[in-house]
Structure 1
Amino acid sequence: MPYRFRDARIQSGKNLAEAAEELFVSKTTLSNWESGRRVPSVEAIEKLADLYGVSVDYLLGRTDQLNPLYEVSESVDPHMLQFLHECPVYVNQSRWGLVDAVNHKICFTDGSELAFSDVMQISMLLPAFQSGSYPLEKPLTRSETENCSRIWLEPISKDETLRQELRGWYNVKNRFVENDFGQRFYFDTYGNKWLAFHTNL
């Protein structure tokens, strides 16, 4: 099967000039790769795969799956990034990165970073392929939370053990929410230390 360098670029929505600039090669070099006049190095093929959000096997014509990992992932609301510290996520339908919730950014293998505010769409591995459990629905706003009598609370912490201990059903009080064990989260820390949801996740 022929290489799919050009097809993958077009599917990613990039024109020749944009892709060449992001790959730090000339348009002529990229055009030569796409036409088969030249063969890129292994390192260049890896960069092409990362840039276009496909697998190396797809670029080389060894599979028809654009990205095997994308097939076992599901869409997640970008508001959930703060819960996903050190988790791999598929970002903006383009490539996989690792969440740095402490610094509010996503880090990629090429050393580049993307701020949470620039994330339009994320996906993560389906539950069968991931270790922890994370909220998948959009959180309630603070005002919505204040109008509920009982909510499901998810602490915001990179400490998975702490999250598991403190997550659960909480009763909504005047200035805080409280669970049956007396643990409290105050409304003035909403969005920084915790988020509320309608349902158990």
Structure 2
Amino acid sequence: MIEPVVTAAGYDLEDLSVSRAGRRYVVRAVVDGDGGVSLDAVADVSRLLSKALDQAEETGGDLVAGEYQLEVSSPGVDRPLTQPRHWRRNVGRLVKVTVRGPGERPERDGDAGAVPPAPGERQLTARVVGADDTRVLLETDAGPVGWAYPDLGPGRVQVEFGRLDEIADDELTADGDDDDDDDVGNGDDEDVEGEER
């Protein structure tokens, strides 16, 4: 009953749980879409699901008979990448994943084929550069290498923090102020209401 409502709204139901909290049920739905899910979209899906749950209760549905609390959210960064759509939605991001086997290089000027053998499983941190219904293409030290989904464990997106030394000097002063502080001590001591000095 819940998945068709989410699908009709243009999203995927990633997870659903129903638990009891005293006399109430707690219904948790995690939704996602190819373009992500905005707060407005979460609110819209929440309204649609609430209406569907109310209608189901009126017609004798047994999912949540009685009072319930509905929680709709988007998946967090810690959600494992397990489906092709998860990988597709994370192209460009850095992931950590267990891979099995050597993988396969994409065709480049007749240089296609397996990467030198890498037996067993190994942990790999690489950037997702492509994904389709059959495989994921990761940018590795050896260049782009593809793995079929059965050869991948669940991927985990790695949070990346930009380093300060990567920011250009002109971006640091992009607020319009130049480096000399000619506006300090210019005799303009107007009091601004609510401002402490």
Q: What TM-score do the two structures reach when normalised by structure 1?
A: 0.23
Q: Which structure: greater strand fraction?
A: 2
Q: What TM-score do the two structures reach when normalised by structure 2?
A: 0.23
